[in-house]
Amino acid sequence: MELTLETPYSGDYGTVLDEAQRDQKQGARPKLKNRIANMEEYETVLLGYPNWWASVPMPIATFLEGYDFSGKTIVPFCSHGGGRFGQSLTAIAKLAPKAKMGDGLSVHYTGGGTLGSDIDAWLGRNGLR
């Protein structure tokens, strides 16, 4: 499921950087348009996000605080420009303290020539293959 915001960020790259950094500094929790009605049915959540200033984007924080992750496993994957996970795994653990954390995968924006095998190995490490 793609998280969509009630008030989307700008489509202009420079503007969206400003908006995202502002939200990050303020600890904002942008309202999400969509909601998972049957979250209790899921045991494992694959959580994908870009690394924003060494952490998770604020819409991810909204999502994590909006559900009870007790007994669930969050398997994170992020895209980055060189910062890998930064402090995002710590942020996820704080935002969903009752969840277990699976083995994460960080992917450089370029993807790299081994992306397919990296994803296969990551899924295997998490028992998802």
Q: What residues does each domain of the chain span? A: 13-125
C-beta separation of 40 from 74 below 8 A: no
| Res. 67: pLDDT tops 90 | yes
The pair of structure tokens assigned to 42 is 């899921």
- What percentage of the chain reaches a pLDDT higher than 90? 95
The pair of structure tokens assigned to 24 is 């990050």
Q: What is the average per-residue pLDDT within 48-75?
A: 96
CATH architecture of 13-125: 3-Layer(aba) Sandwich (3.40)
Q: Report helix angle 58-65 to 13-26, nearest 10.
A: 50
| Res. 129: pLDDT tops 90 | no
pLDDT in tens, 30-58: 999 999 999 999 999 999 999 999 999 99
Could you tell me the pLDDT band of residue 128, with boundaries at 50, 70 and 90?
A: very high
The DSSP annotation for 14-78 comes to HHHHHHHHHHHHHT--PPBS---TTGGG-SEEEEEEE-BTTB--HHHHHHHHTS--TT-EEEEEE
- What does the alpha-carbon distance between residue 8 and residue 33 come to, in Å, rounded to a whole number? 10
| Res. 18: pLDDT tops 90 | yes
Could you tell me the pLDDT band of residue 112, with boundaries at 50, 70 and 90?
A: confident
Question: What is the model's pTM?
Answer: 0.93
Secondary element (H or E) of residue 107: strand 105-108
